[in-house]
Amino acid sequence: MRVAALSDVAPPWMRSRPYRIWVLALFAGVATFGFVDRIVVQVLVQPIQAELHVSDADMGLLGGLTFAVLYVLLSIPIARLAERKNRVAIITIGTALWSVATAASGLALNFGQLLLARIGVGIGEAAGTPATTSIISDYFSPQRRASAMSVVGLAVPLGAFLGGSAGGFIALHWGWRAAFLCAGLPGLVLALLQGLTVREPLRGYHDAAPAEQSTAPSSPRSMEQSSEWNTPSFFAVLRRFWERRSLIQFLIGATLSTIAGYGINYFLAAYFFRRFGLNYAQAGLVVGVVSSVPAALSIIAGGFVADWAGKRSARWYALIPAIGAALTAPLYIASFEAATWLAAAVLLAVTAVCQYAYIPAAAAVTQNMMEPRMRASAAAVTGLIYTLLGQGLGPLFVGMLSDHFTRTHASASQGLQIALTLSTLVYLWSAVHLVIASRRLGEDLKE
């Protein structure tokens, strides 16, 4: 008897290429303004310090661990909910929440209130990210997922440019509070568009039907209802991670790159301000430019080249990010040794071309190794790791190093420079784990 195919019962809009492009573009827009919020905090390190009188370690805590706290606590429960319920509704609510919390950051009267607002941003991000990744995996086939993830990954460079250039300009002319307000309001419009135009896709549409399913259900809804009660447990998701050792090594490498990346980039605007004397707008513009087009090339190339090379050997899904990480470390060191701001900016742009290749590959490999009703949970697990260790500890680690070397060298500029230079070595550590992951990646993807 014929094995059921989900395409037999899928609604026409799921097969519509223009509609899938619209959904992907809308998710990319939401992710972009979500990243604008993170970049704005980096650009505003100096003016916030000047008004609230806090240290580099305090600012590292503000930009990292406070965001991660509730993200870590809520991402897994919300992801489990997304495995069973309407993911579009969850994403829409999450987008609205982080948008309001970002705007509220501009209304904070002291550092404590600002910390609470950043925790609110973490709540919204926890609600949206896992469900978004799961939906994209249902709109695009396994052979297209790295490419699709790279489009959403453009949020990193686009958000960096908007947050850096516009955030610095607004802070210079109207203050850092106005920058937060401007960063938060667009998200409310995007949340409305998501709720009105994005439809819940059929789970597992592009995946092989289970062997025991011999006939197709009468409707997509009946398939959803029959599968909802068979959602794998969270421990099954964790077991799937553990049993695929190449995935564990891949995640370690990606996490190390995330720790270094968040830590270094968080203090780049402050570095240009302290070492080269650029004002808030100039420093923000430089950071925005060097993190936009070059990073976009890195993400797009990382996704599309990984899909292209992966057809020949799955090892390239890990080797391409490994090469990028190995090149990033020496390029960063050269950037921080540059004698002028222009030379430093050019070298940082070259660094960004190599730096972000791991983002779409890591997302695609993780999703491709999971069953359809494991994917939101898997995205929450990886998001939790990247957020807690990467964004949570990266800026705090660099900030503490900066404070230490500032005390020993009696110069805030030199202390930050040493801290940033030492942090680049983490990329070499990352490359080692990515190479190890490549050895049996192909076998694990077939299981």
pLDDT, tens only, 128-175: 777 888 888 888 877 777 778 778 877 777 887 888 888 888 988 898
CATH number at residue 39: 1.20.1250.20
Amino acid at 92: T
Burial of 1 (0-12, 13-18, 19+ CB in 10 A): exposed
Cα angle vertex 376, ends 373, 378, to 5°?
95
The answer to whether position 234 is within a domain reads yes
- Label residue 1 by pLDDT band (50, 70, 90): very low
The answer to whether position 216 is within a domain reads no
- Label residue 208 by pLDDT band (50, 70, 90): low
The answer to whether position 2 is within a domain reads no
pLDDT on residue 181: 92
The answer to whether position 317 is within a domain reads yes
- Indicate the average pLDDT of the chain: 83
Q: Are 139 and 198 in contact (CB under 8 A)?
A: no
pLDDT on residue 8: 53
Q: What size, in residues, is the chain?
A: 447
Rounded to whole angstroms, how far apart are CA atoms 264 and 167? 18
Long-range contacts of 220-225 (CB under 8 A, 24+ apart): 220/9, 220/10, 220/11, 223/6, 223/9
Q: Is the pLDDT of residue 205 over 80?
A: no
Q: Is the pLDDT of residue 329 over 80?
A: yes
The answer to whether position 213 is within a domain reads no
The answer to whether position 1 is within a domain reads no
Tokens 């799937």 — which residue? Answer: 240
Cα angle vertex 422, ends 416, 428, to 5°?
145
Region at 411 (left for phi over 0; alpha for psi -120 to 50; beta for the rest): beta
Q: Is the pLDDT of residue 259 over 90?
A: yes
Q: Of the candidates 133, 151, 121, 35, which has an alpha carbon nearest to the alpha carbon of residue 82?
A: 133
Q: What is the number of other CB atoms lying within 10 angstroms of the CB of residue 413?
A: 17
Backbone angles phi, psi at 179, to 5 degrees: -65, -40
The answer to whether position 217 is within a domain reads no
Please state the separation of Cα 111 from the chain's center in Å.
26
What is the DSSP track for 200-220?
PPPTTTTSPPPTT--S--SSH
Q: Are 321 and 362 in contact (CB under 8 A)?
A: yes
pLDDT on residue 210: 42
Burial of 196 (0-12, 13-18, 19+ CB in 10 A): exposed
Domain that holds residue 184: 11-206+223-446
Q: Is the pLDDT of residue 214 over 80?
A: no
Rounded to whole angstroms, how far apart are CA atoms 214 and 201? 22
Alpha-carbon dihedral angle through residues 315, 350, 386, 415, given to the nearest 10 degrees: 140
Rounded to whole angstroms, how far apart are CA atoms 292 and 304? 18
Q: Is the pLDDT of residue 34 over 80?
A: yes
Count of structural domains within the chain: 1
